[in-house]
Structure 1
Amino acid sequence: MKRSISAVVLALIMVLVPAMSASGAVKAGAPCTKLNAATTVSGIKYKCIKSGKKLIWNKGVKLSTPMPVVTPTPTPTPTPKIEIVPAMPTSFEDLEANYKGIPNSVWVDAERLFAQPLSTPIKVDVEKGESTKILYSYSEIEYGISRAQQLGGNFPKQSKFLVVAFNFTDRDWAKTRLSTIASPFTLNDTFSDQVGVACSSQAECDNAFGNISLDSGLIIQGVSGLPNSSNTNTAIIRSHYAHETTHTIQKSIYKKYGLKRFSIPCWFSEGQPQVVGQTSSSASLSEYVKNRRSWLRPPLRGLPDFSEASINKFFDLQHQQPCDSATRKHIYDIGFIAVEALTSIGGISFTFDVLDKYASGMTFDQAFEKVYGISWANAKPILARTVSKQFLEAR
């Protein structure tokens, strides 16, 4: 029995080992046992095929290496930028502390007024000398005038405007034309006299005067015809006409009270049109901030510096007419920033209200205190410090 079992085992081993050898090594041409069977070895897929009477593995097909699966790195969600809006002034008590919020306050007030349509449409006529060439569209003139009218709110203003434009060659024509237009005021410089100031030479001929006649607004406009920022930059053109239109509102307020003389502190007289002009030419707060920035870096004219003491001195020199000629140029920059600060308290209407009360018969100091609730004597040092800080920071 024992011999018999050993013999059987030996026989099976002899049969199976060759079969395993024959079918175990998978490579091209090696025998296989089941037709169409498939297997993959070392990246090659083999298939069992019939070759004659034998079954063998075919040449195989190399499989492409699968691309590794890359999990994309998630894009981090940006942290939202938190814009810190500076506190806006509400009175002279917090004006100096909140001076960084002055432009924001002025712009909020301007946007509110720009959103209100004009109650009376304006009509603008332009007359120019025979050889005078205006390099900008008349629509820019109308834009500047309309924006200033909106900021003028319910205060007296003109619904018709005449723009008399002339170059150096056409000055005599302009003088003759303007001599036919009457003013409601007793003027130190007649409309004809203003021609020589607006256009003093061929190159210096882009200045203007904002007036009123008996029945309309009147803008006397020098035009050099030489391309420069004054007549090619849209923002400057719009600001320019808004500025001159503000003078027509100032004078319309005086005309309401039947006054024959037009007299305002010089820093206020030009500072107020500057505020109106710069806001009128801006489309956004950021643009307004950009436009006003250049006015904070003027050259010094008649002042030693932009300290509080110098700004106080400037207010004194430019408060009573005739105003000081040495520091007069600063009525357009220091005057601007000063009236801008006033505008941040109560809006642009407060500044027109001061003018209205002044024209009604009050002194400037009385009118100022009536509107702002503080005397000019007490307000002036606060305003001087506020203005000084902004000029010194800009420099």
Structure 2
Amino acid sequence: MRKKSVIAALILATSILIPTHVSAATPKAGIACSKAGLTRTTATKKFTCRKSGKKLIWDKGVALPQATIAVPSPTPSVPTTNADLIYVAKDQRILRHLTASDGCANPNAATAHLQVLIGQNWINVKNINFGWAVTFNVCPPEQLGKKDSLAWVEVYMDPGTTYRWVYTGEVNISNRNAQGNGISGSTTVPLPRPVIDPHPVEGGYGITWENIASRVQDISAAAYTDAQATIARNARAPTAADNFTTYLSPGAQSIDPNIQDSITLLKRTFTLYAAFPHPSKVFFVGTTLDEKDQTYAKIDTLSPGNPFIKNSFDNMYGINPNLPAGSVFTNSKCNGSDALRNTFTWPDLKAAGAILTSFCPTDNPQIHVEAHHGAAHEYAHLIQIQIYNYHNLRAAQPCWMTEGEAEWAQTAVSPDFSSYLSLQHLHPYYLTTLGTDYSVPTNTVWSASELTDYFANANKIATCGATPQYALAYSAGAAAVEALVAIGGSEAPFALDQRMANGESLDQAFNAVFHIDWAKAVLILSDVVAQKMTHVNQSDALTYQTRP
């Protein structure tokens, strides 16, 4: 009896414990539970005991919010310099011309070299060519004395490579390493951007490299005709006009009743170059020096929070100049001519660009006509800045193209061929890129050899802007660009730029766009340009050209 009572007690105890055991275990949907409303929580869900028919079972459960477990980030290792390694680019075809953007130095008492970041190591780069370029707008001697130059180098370097400049000696720079050497910020060689195949020239003139030197009289008609065909072809294409804002001050409208012509010509330029990159937003501001304060207040509403337009006006008016004393590009008072500038946001070049004109009273209405077309000239510079990403503009584009392209653009959008011819500035003069050392050459007859020498100097990218010969780009450069258009079409010069911006040499890019070696082409261009620049001093300067 005693034995049976013990067994019965164990059975009773077990039967009592079973539900409790199930409830205490990890609950699962559909498993029996002991009491309706009872809850159990697991790591991921909260279950509730519910009645299902005659049974009590656990429901499917409700997911619980998961706590975020903080995982400490590993401390990044600091890149170190490895002087034992020398960088070798995979691509030994494209020789890049790189110019420093900071590090104003005394070239007689400083050194500079490049390093590239490979993994966690800064390693040295072997220069192919190296030098210093006097750059007053970045390194003003009034403030920095003999530290007036930026370093430049020609190297092989692959796209996507990050590099920096390292300086010793007399250099004005904010960052220095433990040894006291100047260290620039890092820059990455951009990956290649898309390039266009320029539309073939239209008009049926049939000008080629073989015959152009004997058909100089047909060049202007061929180029102008293709420009009009390009504008018509691009009439429905998206352009900068899609996000274009203008402000014309009351004083500017009073001084120049035809000020709207600036806007008309700008829109034609937008269409002419619809195939090329431009700022996402473009402004045109026409005002006067006397209305500076009112105009600045208006600019604050047009471009709130970004003073780039006002800063450029300040530079123009000599309030905060970034040019040396005596520069013709500083206009602190009216002197009978209008003043123009282009400017852009920084460092996001794509965000916005602006064309600025300060109008001055004059008895010569042609002054204002020049300003209207000058707006188109300045917009062409904004396209160049977009193509080359600004810094590469001075590092990759020959000087004859910089102003030559802009000069041809401002004539190409003329409403008629007579205006196209009269607005060409083929009378040569000398001036540096900073607007100093102005003079006029005395010779009225130009030879092909003189122009060949000019193009050779204008292709020395590191130095061509610092010499007075720079301004020959407005005449010789413009005539050369016009010839290129007559052969390859209106899009061909900027298509050439796109390839050079990607690192191709002038010869490589020229072969791709014009299917001729630069060494051969420059001799032909020199002959053509010499003829054009000689004609400008003759009685038939505006009549020898074939009419479209």
Name the CA distance, whole Å, in 2 between partners of 1:225 and 1:180. Answer: 30
Secondary structure at the aligned position of 2:210 is classed as coil
Largest Rg, 1 or 2 = 1
Amino acid at match of 1:201: K
Cα displacement (A) at 1:136: 3.6
Secondary structure at the aligned position of 1:203 is classed as coil
126-135 or 237-246, larger mean C-alpha shift = 126-135
Secondary structure at the aligned position of 2:334 is classed as coil
Name the CA distance, whole Å, in 1 between partners of 2:401 and 2:502. Answer: 17
* Structure 1 residues 298 and 261: CA distance shift in structure 2, 3 A: closer
- Match 1:382 to one of 516, 524, 529: 524
- Let me know the Cα RMSD of the aligned residues: 3.4
1:276 counterpart = 2:409 = yes
Cα displacement (A) at 1:238: 3.4
- Match 1:142 to one of 259, 263, 274: 263
Does structure 1 retain, via aligned residues, the 8 Å contact 2:407–2:478? yes
Secondary structure at the aligned position of 1:157 is classed as coil
Name the CA distance, whole Å, in 2 between partners of 1:173 and 1:307. Answer: 51
Correspondences of 1:302-317 after superposition (within 5 Å): 302=441, 304=443, 305-317=445-457
By percentage of residues, which structure has more helix? 1
Partner of 2:384: 250
Amino acid at match of 1:217: G
* Structure 1 residues 138 and 217: CA distance shift in structure 2, 3 A: farther
Amino acid at match of 2:342: G
Secondary structure at the aligned position of 1:361 is classed as coil
306-315 or 268-277, larger mean C-alpha shift = 306-315
Correspondences of 1:326-341 after superposition (within 5 Å): 326-341=468-483
Partner of 1:39: none
Does structure 2 retain, via aligned residues, the 8 Å contact 1:199–1:207? yes
Does structure 1 retain, via aligned residues, the 8 Å contact 2:357–2:371? no
Does structure 2 retain, via aligned residues, the 8 Å contact 1:114–1:147? yes
Name the CA distance, whole Å, in 1 between partners of 2:463 and 2:504. Answer: 19
Name the CA distance, whole Å, in 1 between partners of 2:214 and 2:364. Answer: 39
Name the CA distance, whole Å, in 2 between partners of 1:112 and 1:160. Answer: 26
Partner of 1:112: 229
1:262 counterpart = 2:393 = yes
Partner of 2:499: 357
Deviation per residue, 1:51-84 (Å, 9 max, x gap): xxxxxxxxxxxxxxxxxxxxxxxxxxxxxxxxxx
Does structure 1 retain, via aligned residues, the 8 Å contact 2:426–2:474? no
Name the CA distance, whole Å, in 2 between partners of 1:124 and 1:169. Answer: 22
Does structure 1 retain, via aligned residues, the 8 Å contact 2:252–2:286? no
Deviation per residue, 1:95-128 (Å, 9 max, x gap): 2122222112112211212213142344232265
1:201 counterpart = 2:333 = yes
Partner of 1:97: 214
Name the CA distance, whole Å, in 2 between partners of 1:387 and 1:333. Answer: 9
Name the CA distance, whole Å, in 2 between partners of 1:367 and 1:329. Answer: 24
- Alignment: residue pair count: 297
Partner of 1:8: none
Does structure 2 retain, via aligned residues, the 8 Å contact 1:136–1:231? no
Does structure 2 retain, via aligned residues, the 8 Å contact 1:194–1:209? yes
Partner of 1:6: none
Q: What TM-score results when the alignment is normalised by the length of structure 2? A: 0.48
Provide structure 2 residue ranges, at least 5 long, that are not aligned to the other structure. Answer: 1-202, 319-328, 431-439, 538-548
Correspondences of 1:295-306 after superposition (within 5 Å): 295-298=425-428, 301-302=440-441, 304=443, 305-306=445-446
Name the CA distance, whole Å, in 2 between partners of 1:254 and 1:387. Answer: 26
Does structure 1 retain, via aligned residues, the 8 Å contact 2:411–2:419? no
Cα displacement (A) at 1:331: 1.7
Does structure 1 retain, via aligned residues, the 8 Å contact 2:315–2:330? no
Correspondences of 1:136-215 after superposition (within 5 Å): 136-158=257-279, 160-169=281-290, 180-182=306-308, 192-196=314-318, 197-203=329-335, 206-213=338-345, 214=348, 215=351
Identity of aligned residues (%): 23
Deviation per residue, 1:260-287 (Å, 9 max, x gap): 443222211111111111121232x344
Amino acid at match of 1:241: A
Does structure 2 retain, via aligned residues, the 8 Å contact 1:106–1:340? yes
Q: What TM-score results when the alignment is normalised by the length of structure 1? A: 0.65
Deviation per residue, 1:230-249 (Å, 9 max, x gap): 5543xx34322211111122
Cα displacement (A) at 1:387: 0.8
Deviation per residue, 1:21-69 (Å, 9 max, x gap): xxxxxxxxxxxxxxxxxxxxxxxxxxxxxxxxxxxxxxxxxxxxxxxxx
1:368 counterpart = 2:502 = no
Provide structure 1 residue ranges, at least 5 long, that are not aligned to the other structure. Answer: 1-85, 184-188
Does structure 2 retain, via aligned residues, the 8 Å contact 1:212–1:252? no
Amino acid at match of 1:389: Q
